[in-house]
Amino acid sequence: MQLRNMVRAFVQSDVDPQALQFNRQKFNRQLFRKCGELGLLGVTAQEQHGGSGMDAAAAVIVHEELAASDPAFCLSYLAHSMLFVNNLAQNGSEAQRARFLPAACSGDAVCGMGMSEPGSGTDVLGMSTTAVAAPGDSGSGSGSGGGGYVLNGSKMWITNGTVDGRDTGDAFLVYARTGRGPRDISTFIVERGMAGFSLGTKVEDKCGMRASMTAELVFEDVRVPRENLVGEEGGALLSMVKNLEIERLALGAISLGIARRCIDIMNKYSMERVAFGKPISSYGQVQRHIAESYAEYMAGRAYTYSIAANLDLTTHGCGLDTDAVKLYTATMGKNVADRAMQVLGGNGYVGDYQVERLWRDAKLMEIGGGTLEAHHKNIVRDLRRLQVLP
């Protein structure tokens, strides 16, 4: 409760006032640094590296509270704090954590993760970005020495791919193919300024999440030192699966935040707006929108937090339920936002009441971090394997 109260107060004082302004395709770097000052950027990272050492439930709380005001900023926060910081905190070496996490946790660096490609999104194992041993490299594995790797390819739809629109973010965990087998994938830390690493296409005309910068990252013979290999060569699939679980819970929490804010807005509006001599909250059509939204939000909230309470960030095994959480909350959040726009009518269709922005932001949850169709496939696969419900 103390964490939620702290984040909620921060949201009211700092996040909410800027949300509409920064919805014009601009990342709020100053607000990002304030998150660092509060210990939020490294919420699940080790304390000795600048993190707060908290658990998955804490991460879900932060994402719900931020998203209730500014889902787009929260999306950038997720890409940094979960896809980079948490991923490296759980899977990186002590030397890598000591080198990269302090700046990431303070907000001095803005980071992200590169998985999706122009030709492979949901089909992660279809990625074509490659990393081959550089001339002079002395061997494989996570040891030091040698010439490292040469990285070629591109990553698309990368949150925090750019911050200012002119250059890449500061550092990224990039997945690349290091062998011929479909699962021969490795993770590399790629840093801004490495020769051959550049900003590609900037995604500027987005339906929603406009305060979160999205871009293509291009790798042309990028020389990555061996010490930037995370874990063992060819061993990235396990760390990928682990991090997808917390990512999908956090994305579910974003949908919870959107739904909660929309319910609050339409409930208050319905008591103030008068039609035919009565507040519209007295009409059954409006009551249905509000009541069903609240019930669905509470169901999604209970499911999300129950799974978060049992998620071990150091391992994996909750894929069935993290997929199901995101499957349910993504559509729930979008539907609640749609009902809020309907209750507000014309006022919901313009920016003053926030609902229009939340409505646009909500749709991404059905696409990003795993499409609804990918969740369907994963859930049925896992249930088929279990044969009985857990």
Q: Which residues are catalytic?
A: 247
Q: Say whether 227 sits in a helix, a strand or coil.
A: helix
What is residue 260's DSSP assignment? Answer: H
Distance, in Å, from the CA atom of 255 to the CA atom of 63, rounded to the nearest integer, reads 9
Distance, in Å, from the CA atom of 172 to the CA atom of 159, rounded to the nearest integer, reads 10
With tokens 């499911």, the residue in question is 303
What is residue 165's DSSP assignment? Answer: S
Let me know: does 184 contact 178? Beta carbons within 8 Å. Answer: yes
Amino acid at 203: V
b/e code 330-364 from CB counts within 10 Å (16+ = b): bbbbbbbbbbbbebbeeebeeeebbbbbbbbbbbb
Residue 182 burial (10 A CB sphere; 0-12, 13-18, 19+): exposed
Residue 198: strand pairing partners: 218
What is the C-alpha end-to-end distance of the chain, expressed in Å?
A: 30
